[in-house]
Every structure is written in structure tokens, then in C-alpha cells.
Amino acid sequence: MPPAFAAAPSSSICGVRIPTACRFEAQSTVSAPRFLRNWVAAKTRSASAWSLKAGLWDSLRSGFLKSNNSTETVEPPAAPLEVEEPLPVEIVLLERTLLDGSTEQILFSSAGDVDVYDLQALCDKVGWPRRPLSKIAASLRNSYLVATLHSIIRSSETEREEKKQLIGMARATSDHAFNATIWDVLVDPSYQGQGLGKALMEKVIRTLLQRDINNITLFADNKVIDFYKNLGFEVDPQGIKGMFWYPRF
């Protein structure tokens, strides 16, 4: 992922900027809000699984069905359905030998293993303004998905000695059925330019799709729109615009 995407996000849990609207979510500085939508169908799943273009508004109006010019409210099930919690995923994205002979692994995880102090330090590295740790913890706790990148360095002398460092994160909120929005995408500046931001986003998208959530949005700055387009996002799909409420007092 290009360095810009993590340097000045528009919607960070550590920052205070008002986000720009997009589909498949990420942070960046905001000039004018824009709405991005992800059409990854052709790239990541079979065409039969991707009726997003025709069904965007149907998905957004998920509580209603249209039939013969009349609108019917879909009645909720009599008893709540039991949903099985998806198992967290851990994948080694990269393994390499460093100059001192130690080995480094870059590990992707969807287990939500984030220490708020480590996250605050990462936010500091990318220049995001600080926010209260209690709010950072609440945002992580209330997220549907928290994905991380960790660097794990093992000494050449003994494999038992290891140093684990948080180098990237992205999270998503969701209604657990139709829609998800990705927030707070960041990668340690010393690890940018290596394709890790792209890999992080691709894993987050794939995880949401595997959970049968196809309507994915995000917020992005103008200078990183091309990055997200390459991941399958579309600006203002079907003319849909993101809208933001601002206090008038």
C-alpha cells in the first residue's frame, strides 16, 4: 500500500479528522467527501456470488422487499438465529533472514490481538493525533473485525527468543448480515512500500466475503483513491454519495 494511505488517514481511532466516504474502508486526509464502492467480484469470487451492482440499493434497504410497486416489510424470525462465531485466521505473509542472521516473519491475524498501547505507538509513528485510550479500546471492542500485521523476529542463537511488534492494523464495523465499513488502515512507515498494506486490505476483504458480507465501504482521501480502485473499489457507485452530519452550534 502506498505510504500516503497511512500517513494521514481521514477516519482514525487515534485521529480526529472527519472521514471521507468510500466502499471498502481506509483512512486518509479529507478534502471533499467521496463515496467508494468495492466491485471485487470479478477478481476474488465467481460471478454468481457477486450481484452487487444490481443489488446495491437492495442491500442498503435490507429490511424491505419490493413487489409489484408495493413495499412489504420483512418480518424478523420468531426466535433469534444462532450464529456460529468465525474462527480467527493467522497467515504468514512474509518470512526473511535479516542481516544479523535472525529471521523475521510478517504475520496477518484476524484474531483482534491488539494492545492499545502498541496501537497508540503505531498511531504516533504515522502522525495521527492522539485520542483517549479508553475510546481506542472501545472502538476495538465494538468492531466486527480487527485485523493486524505483526513483525515477529527470532534470534539466530535461539528460536525461543522473539520480538513481536505491531506494524499494521485495519478494522471493520458491520451489521453482521449485509454491510461492513473498513476503518483505521495503517502500516508502520518503516514497513511501507513492501506491499503489506495491499496484502492487509486483501485479507480483510476476503475475510468479510467469507462471512457472507458483500456490501463493503470505506473512506479515502483523494490521493489514495487509485490505490483502492486497484483493490476493486469504485467511486460513487450508481451516483450514491456519502453524507456527513456536522454540528451547527
Active site residues: 228
- Confirm whether 221 is domain-assigned: yes
Q: What is the pLDDT of residue 223?
A: 81
Least confident of 66-70, 103-107, 220-224: 66-70
Q: Report the C-alpha gap between 168 and 196 in whole angstroms.
A: 8
- CA-closest candidate to residue 164, choices 93, 106, 89: 106
Percent of the chain with pLDDT over 70: 64
* Structure confidence by residue, pLDDT tens digits, 103-136: 999 999 999 989 999 999 999 999 999 999 999 9
Helices (H), ranges, 40-166 = 41-44, 52-60, 116-126, 133-141
Higher-confidence position of 219 and 15: 219
The answer, yes or no, to whether residue 59 has pLDDT greater than 90, is: no
pLDDT tens across 130-145, in order?
Answer: 999 999 999 999 999 9
Q: CA-to-CA distance for 193 and 92, rounded, in angstroms?
A: 18
Is residue 153 in some structural domain?
Answer: yes
What per-residue confidence (pLDDT) applies to 150? 97
**Sign (positive/negative) of CA torsion 41, 53, 243, 70?**
negative
Give the span between the Cα atoms of 30 and 133, in whole angstroms. 24
Residue 61 belongs to some domain of the structure: no
* Number of structural domains found in the chain: 1
- E strand or H helix at 6: helix 4-7
> How confident is the model over 177-206, as pLDDT tens digits?
999 999 999 999 999 999 999 999 999 999
Q: Is residue 113 part of a domain?
A: yes
Find all residues with CB under 8 Å of 208, minimum gap 6, and list them.
145, 172, 174, 180, 216
Question: What is the rounded distance in angstroms from the CA atom of residue 75 to the CA atom of residue 213?
Answer: 21
Instruction: Give a yes or no: residue 38 inside a domain.
Output: no
Task: Provide the whole-model pTM.
Answer: 0.70
Read off the pLDDT band of 85 (50, 70, 90): low
Q: Does residue 48 lie in a domain region? A: no
Average pLDDT over all residues of the chain? 77
Q: Report pLDDT for 187.
A: 95
Instruction: Quote the pLDDT of residue 114.
Output: 95
Query: Phi/psi at 247 (nearest 5 deg)?
Result: -65, 140
Tell me if 178 sits within 8 A of 59, measured CB to CB: yes
Domain that holds residue 126: 90-235
CA–chain centroid gap for 48, Å, is 24
| Domain annotation covers residue 54 | no
Tens digit of each residue's pLDDT (9 = 90 or more) over 48-57 = 334 444 455 5
Q: The cell 520480538 sits on which residue?
A: 163
Q: Has residue 172 been placed in a domain? A: yes
User: Residue 87 has what pLDDT?
Assistant: 80
